[in-house]
């Protein structure tokens, strides 16, 4: 419904409407970050693991043979910062690193039993919070909101995309059936890299 209204409208919204929209988007993103992500992470890990580190573990749980450059691309940081993040997690016993057999410059990163337990506990805490928060919303209504947000992302992407590969940084929410990816007409970096290994 929301997406249809957005598609059907050919006129640009007035400045106040655009400002209200962006304010709502930022407030929503901040609340998701604090209540749905960081809150459950503090519940299961205290201050031992940051959210970017959790994102890295989540990414590596999907594909353990990424190079440091792949990790840096997905996290949106430099190779040096990605390497430091990996080093910290290795020292804490949350990652294992070994030289790749096929390429000595690459490292094979794998989760440890401890990091798998952490991801499982976080997923359970996050899902409890989401179920409680969204208990009054019907699944169809949530699908419409997701579709509307994807339509807005596509409109923005159409204005800023210049042919270079753009990672939309789905963070801890990689989607196997990503409507946004299919509408943009490109594979995301995560899926392309996963299929190469």
Q: What is the pLDDT of residue 153?
A: 80
* 80-123 tens-digit pLDDT: 998 898 899 999 999 988 776 666 666 778 899 999 999 999 99
pTM: 0.74
Q: What is the pLDDT of residue 197?
A: 45
Query: What are the Cα distances from residue 102, in Å, to 61, 68, 72, 98, 107?
Result: 20, 15, 21, 12, 10
Higher pLDDT, 152 or 131: 131
CATH T-level fold of 18-196? Arc Repressor Mutant, subunit A (1.10.10)
Work out the average pLDDT over 113-135: 95
Domain ranges of the chain: 18-196
Higher pLDDT, 20 or 175: 20
Q: Is the pLDDT of residue 11 over 70?
A: no
Distance of alpha carbon 15 from alpha carbon 126, whole angstroms: 36
Phi then psi for residue 96, to 5 deg, are -115, 140
Ramachandran sector of residue 93 (left: φ over 0; alpha: ψ -120 to 50; beta: rest): left
């Amino acid at each position: 419904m929301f997406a249809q209204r957005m598609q059907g409208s050919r006129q640009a919204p007035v400045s106040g409407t655009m400002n209200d929209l962006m304010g709502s988007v930022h407030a929503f993103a901040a609340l998701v970050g604090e209540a749905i992500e960081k809150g459950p992470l503090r519940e299961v890990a205290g201050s031992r693991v940051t959210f970017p580190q959790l994102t890295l573990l989540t990414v590596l749980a999907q594909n353990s043979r990424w190079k440091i450059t792949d990790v840096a691309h997905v996290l949106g940081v430099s190779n040096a910062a990605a390497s430091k993040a990996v080093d910290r997690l290795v020292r804490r016993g949350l990652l294992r690193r070994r030289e790749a057999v096929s390429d000595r410059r690459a490292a094979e990163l794998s989760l440890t039993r401890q990091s798998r337990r952490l991801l499982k506990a976080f997923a359970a805490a996050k899902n409890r919070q989401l179920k409680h928060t969204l208990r009054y919303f019907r699944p169809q209504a949530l699908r419409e909101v997701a579709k509307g947000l994807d339509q807005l992302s596509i409109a923005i992407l159409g204005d800023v995309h210049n042919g270079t590969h753009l990672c939309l940084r789905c963070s801890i929410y990689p989607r196997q059936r990503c409507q946004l990816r299919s509408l943009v007409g490109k594979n995301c970096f995560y899926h392309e890299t996963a299929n190469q290994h």
